[in-house]
Structure formats: C-alpha cells, structure tokens
Amino acid sequence: MLSVLILIPLASVLLKGFTLSPQRFFEIITEKNVICAFLTSIGCAFLAAFINCVFGLILAWTLVRCDFFYKPFLDGLIELPFALPTAVAGITLSKMYSDTGFPGKYLSAIGIDISYTHAGIVLAMVFVGIPFVVRTIEPVLRKLDPQYEEAAHIMGAGSIYTFGRVVLPELGPALLTGFGLAFARGIGEYGSVIYISGNSAKAHTQVVSYVIMQKLNYMDYEGAAAIALVMLVISFLILLGINLVQIRQSRRVNDI
C-alpha cells in the first residue's frame, strides 16, 4: 500500500523531472510567472503558518485549560477544514470576502480588499492549516505538568513570565512542528486558494499549484513535472526538519 499510494507516484514525478536536461529544467523553473508563483505560495504560506501558530496556540490553550458549555462544539469545529471539501471552502470564502458579501463589503468600504488579493490567499491557507497547529500542540499541553507553573508563581513570577520561560519552551517543538505542517499544507494548497486568489499573473496572485494545473491543461507535462519536482524537494525538506525536531525533543525527554 505504501508503494502504490506514495512511492510509485513520487517516483514517477522524479523520473519525469530527471528526464529533462539541466538547462531545460532551469529554464522552466526560472520563468517569470513560475518565480512569482513560488514567491506568492511560499510567502503567503509562511505568513499563514505564523498566524496559525499564534491563534492555534490560543485555541489549544482554551480547549485544554478552560471549561465552558460549548467546548465540544468548538472542538468539533477545529476538524471542519479536514472534512469540508477545499473547493467549497474556497468558493465560500471568496463570496464572503468579495465586495458584495459579508463582511467583505464593509471591509471594501474602508479600502480593505480580501478576495482576489494576497490577503485572500493567506486567509484560505489559515483556514486549511489551523487544525494542524491545534492538534499538534493540544496533546503536549495536556501532558504538561501544572506543578511547574505553580512553582513559578510561588517564586513570584508573573503570568507572562511563567508562560514565556516555563510553558513556551515545552511547547516549542510542538509549535514548530505545527508550523511546518501548516506551511507545507499551504504551499501545496489548490482547491481553497484558486477561487479566492483570482489567479492573476499581473497581480501576482497565481500560486504554484495553479501554475502546475495550467501547464497540464496545455499538455506541457515537462513544465509541470519540473515545478512539481521543486515542490517535492521543498516539502521533503520541511518534513525532514520536522522529524529532526521531533527526534531531538524525544532524546531530550528521555535524558530527563
């Protein structure tokens, strides 16, 4: 199953990419629209992952440390981006944040445009990436012994100091892992992004996944394979970094 679902498709991308000459490969990935698409995807995915880390930490903290009557409902909503088709999410977000939707029309009235801009791309990536951060931090936060926080408070430390020096270092590896997963998901996102981005080459709102699909529609399999190979390398490096962080954290815990 691993070979059929993962290894064989990845191998086909690698083989197709390696059939290109180095000159042809660099000609494809250095095209102006391809470079702009990479910059758009990477930049928006990085910003979305950072936003997800901030609000994902707040959500995870709320679900673990707070008790309220609609907590199960909020916990279920976290999984919504996993269950909802990304195309549906993209259509809904683009309609909501257009100049005729709510709250898009009120934002447009004060000069803030969301749909068909980079802000819309970031918004869609935040939507699909937030569960990765929450579900990565949540189990670590549940296992965190509150005695360390109590000891810090007894010694006179304030809430902010305790969080920054006691809690955050323990959550750091999980937070970094969630960031990497949300970042990797954002770079490769397609369904929720293409509708809200506008896919304008002039406005630089084309993402890499759209450029790959565009080349496939034009029967440019070499160009699609070359871009997909670069995306594969980027994703592999991100996941490799995540695994190294997890291995280091596991060794640190075992040493303790």
- 163 is a domain residue: yes
- Structural domain contains residue 138: yes
Q: Is 239 domain-assigned?
A: no
CA–CA dist 133, 122 (Å, integer): 16
Q: Quick one: what percent of the chain has pLDDT higher than 90?
A: 16
pTM tops 0.75, yes or no: yes
The CB density around residue 19, as the number of other CB atoms within 10 Å, is: 11
- Helices and strands (DSSP H and E) totals, the chain: 15, 0
Residue 11 lies in a domain: no
**pLDDT band at residue 250 using 50, 70 and 90 as cut-offs:** low
pLDDT digits (tens, 9 = 90+) for 228-238: 888 888 888 88
- The count of C-alpha atoms lying within 13 angstroms of the C-alpha of 14, restricted to the half-sphere facing its C-beta, is 9
Quick one: average pLDDT of 41-52?
93
CATH code for the domain of 194: 1.10.3720.10
Task: Summarize the confidence of residues 71-86 as an average pLDDT.
Answer: 84
**Is residue 253 situated within a structural domain?**
no
DSSP 124-135: HHHHHHHHHHHH
Which tokens belong to 88? 């549906």
Highest mean pLDDT among 45-49, 77-81, 204-208: 45-49
| Residue 79 CA, distance from chain mean position | 15
Q: How many CA atoms lie within 13 A of 51 on its CB side?
A: 18
- Give, in order, the Cα–Cα distances in Å from 90 to each of 40, 205, 247: 17, 14, 36
For residue 169, give its domain range: 38-207
pLDDT at 52 > cutoff 90:
yes
In a domain, 108, yes or no: yes
Domain count, the chain: 1
Asked if residue 130 lies in contact with residue 78, where contact means CB atoms within 8 angstroms, the answer is yes
Residue 70 lies in a domain: yes
Instruction: For residues 195-219, give the mean pLDDT.
Output: 85
Domain assignment of residue 66, yes or no: yes
Q: 147-177 pLDDT, tens per residue?
A: 777 787 777 777 777 887 778 888 888 888 8
